[in-house]
Amino acid sequence: MSTMNFTFSFSDGFDNFKNVKAFTLLRDHVLPVLEERRADLESMYSPVMGRPEVDPVLLTAVTILQMMEKRPDRAAVEACCYDVRWRVALGLPADWKPFHPTSLVYFRKRMIEHDSAGLVMDAGLEAMRRDGYFGRTGSIRIDSTHILGAVSKMSRLACVRETFRSALRFLAQFTSSDDWEPWYSIYEERNPDELRGASKEVLKRVMTQAGCDVNEVLNKINHSFKEAAGAEPVALLRRVFNEQYTVSEDGEVVENRATCSGAVKNPNDPEAGWSTKDSIETDGWIGYKLQVCETVPEQICDKGEPTSSVITAVVTQPATTSDHGSLDPVLQTHKENGQGTPEEIYVDAGYVSAGDIKHAEERGYELNGPVAGPPSRNKCFKSDAFQVDIPLRKAVCPAGEISSSCVRIHDHGKIKVVFRFEWPRAVCAACTLKDKCISPSKKIVRRRLEVGENHMYIQQRRKDCATPEYKELMKRRNAVEGTHSELARGYGVRRCRYKGLAKTKFQHLFTGAACNLRRWAARLCWQQRCHA
């Protein structure tokens, strides 16, 4: 092994010192844990190889550094040869011979096929625990961010044409190109001149014609080339056709007015979906969604103090996945990485519902986060103006009148339970607050109130959110926005390096491990400087 070592001090600059510290932590703490997991890494390889394989532990460490410094494969291999920090961190001997950059490509492919990328996050957290830097925490915060796919946005027509073009190229290789010549010559060019700046009428006509051509080709495949019907390009073409068109009973191809959720937006990455978020442009994004879970420090950091938070879980999801319902998979990953059930979880309103608050209470942790306001009823009193007690089956209106009846309704269509409270007509007709409680358009002068079975949880949370103490408590969630910024600016996590959900998940897991490594180094260097 190499006998080289670092000779660095604070006089060389704190930023440079903490960057070098990340490499020494990888060498002294993370690599030993990866060595213990060598059997898991070697299980990805065949016992009989045609050529000597590259050490999987080395490739894992190189990939961590690659994500930490945002380097492509060729630049990463060059760093192993010429960057003293990389050589010492990886323990490379002086006579080490570099591997080919494509070895990193095949390594990623193996890890993705065996779903082994989570091993890296776990190894980094285990190294922190053994060093005594990080232990089990009682508080975590969770938030999501959008991830832009490695593909461009396409119109519906461009998506159909590109998918059709790719399928025709495959079919031309699979069979004879003469069988597909009538269509191949039309759709060979990606952006024909006649479609640039064309009117809506022309584009609509071309869209309809493309659907007829695709339908004709698919029918020809089903009748004459059944062996190609299950091929990936043909299956993708069939999926795009079904998402964009409908075939009527008389065989006419009609363009759908709108595409369904999760439809293919670019055939070069079919898994990249479209979604929108209030914090970004109104036309949304095409890609994926990333859930980030990190620990919450007991004390707020001073200005200039590096964070002591540790990322304990990253979960990559399709773009259309809602934050509501994402708590369970994030907590499951959090536990798989060696953490127990937290005592407190800080989230935003997208994660919180009455059922979630009740579910958290039953599981023994507190879910802290605001909830959306009640539905608007013009200028009339909303549900929060009523004091509801579901166990006692009664509700008190703003005028102080107690409800006269309560009915439990089981909505089988929406699979939920609703309680309906009603007040006597005579009481409502004589009430001085009638104009603020009952809409003038209603013929029946009687107030009805419908709430969910867990309405009391929501009612209490809305009251809590109005207090200064709860607003101060929720400041512990805000730092997760800085974590998203750190991952996006420092590691390029906002944009996919690869195409496909599995590859994007690989990128995020290694990026989370690299971010923890650099945070660990920054924190230790800051503590050393404070005690120097």
Q: What is the pLDDT of residues 227-279, one digit of tens each?
A: 888 899 999 999 999 999 999 888 899 999 888 888 999 999 999 999 887 65
pLDDT bracket for residue 290 (50, 70, 90): very high
Q: Per-residue pLDDT for 133 more than 80?
A: yes
Mean pLDDT, rounded, for 45-61: 81
Instruction: Report the distance separating Cα 184 and Cα 181, nearest Å.
Output: 5
Chain-centroid distance, C-alpha 430: 54
Q: Where do runs of H (alpha helix) occur along 291-388? A: 327-336, 354-363
Domain ranges of the chain: 10-136+502-530, 156-255, 383-454
**For residue 139, what are the CA distances in angstroms to 341, 485, 524?**
9, 21, 22
pLDDT bracket for residue 293 (50, 70, 90): very high
pLDDT bracket for residue 498 (50, 70, 90): very high
Q: Per-residue pLDDT for 130 more than 50?
A: yes
Q: Per-residue pLDDT for 369 more than 60?
A: yes
Residue 8: its pLDDT value, please? Answer: 47
Q: Per-residue pLDDT for 330 more than 50?
A: yes
Residues facing 395 on adjacent strands:
388
Which residues 6+ apart lie within 8 Å of 322 measured at CB?
Answer: 350
Which residues 6+ apart lie within 8 Å of 520 measured at CB?
Answer: 22, 25, 128, 133, 310
Instruction: Report the distance separating Cα 98 and Cα 92, nearest Å.
Output: 10
Residue 52: its pLDDT value, please? Answer: 62
pLDDT bracket for residue 396 (50, 70, 90): very high
Mean pLDDT, rounded, for 368-392: 84
Q: Per-residue pLDDT for 11 more than 70?
A: no
Mean pLDDT, rounded, for 475-503: 94
Residue 163: its pLDDT value, please? Answer: 95
Q: Quick check: pTM over 0.75?
A: yes
Residue 64: its pLDDT value, please? Answer: 97
Residue closest to 245 by CA, chosen among 142, 169, 359, 157 = 157
